[in-house]
Amino acid sequence: MPIANHHSSVPVIVDEDKCIADKGCTVCIDVCPLDVLWINEDTGKAHMKYDECWYCMPCEADCPTDAVTVNIPYLLR
């Protein structure tokens, strides 16, 4: 059975100007209970790789540079 990719709008936004993941910070990635934040290999910054969010907020609360914003997933808004 072949597989297609489908797009989805993700709830967590990372401000790439503020994010210091390229300097070695992994705080948001570490605290995410669903492990959906990863380093974007093109930019070196954190991003939401999988749309599997509990909008629980440790990533935003623990970010040392206030780079992360958690929105409500579109289906719930």
By beta-carbon proximity to other proteins, the closer residue of 18 and 56 is 56
> Least Å distance between CB 33 and other proteins?
4
Strands of the chain, DSSP E: 12-14, 37-39, 46-48, 68-70
Site for other proteins in 11-70 (CB under 8 A): 30-36, 49-50, 52-58, 61-62, 70
> Least Å distance between CB 65 and other proteins?
18
SS3 14: strand
> Least Å distance between CB 70 and other proteins?
6
- Closest Cα partner for 56 from 31, 24, 22? 31
Between CA 42 and CA 8 the distance in angstroms is: 20
**What's phi and psi for 27, nearest 5 deg?**
-60, -50
Which positions lie near other proteins, rule CB under 8 A?
1-3, 30-36, 49-50, 52-58, 61-62, 70-73, 75-77
